[in-house]
Amino acid sequence: MTTTKNAKTTKSKSSAKGRATVATATDAMDGVYLLKLALYVILGSMWVKLSHGDGMSVPIPIGFVIGLIFSSHEHFRIDRKIEYAVLMVAMLVGYFAPYGLYVSW
């Protein structure tokens, strides 16, 4: 009976260590996920606005295109649908915000 008791204690110790490792890995993944979302918000909101004088202006969502390329070729895919949604919302906000690259000729 002592051998089964020792086996149970060893198993519970190793599972407790495993839980601590999983919790640390999950915390690291949360930070990576938030960093990626922040990157997509910044990229998605970048526009290049070309203008010729006062009459004609052509906005190009260059950040959205770069974000799509990055999300389709990245190594750590978390959820591509969420990444696309964040890019779309940031693109709309960036269109109305007064920042980006303005080029006039």
pLDDT in tens, 1-31: 555 555 554 444 555 565 656 666 666 678 8
Does 105 have pLDDT greater than 70? Answer: yes
* Structure token digits, residue 105: 């000729």
Q: Does the global pTM surpass 0.95?
A: no
Q: What is the pLDDT of residues 39-72, one digit of tens each?
A: 999 999 999 999 887 778 889 999 999 999 988 8
Give per-residue burial for 12-31: e unless 16+ CB within 10 Å, then b.
Answer: eeeeeeeeeeeeeeeeeeee
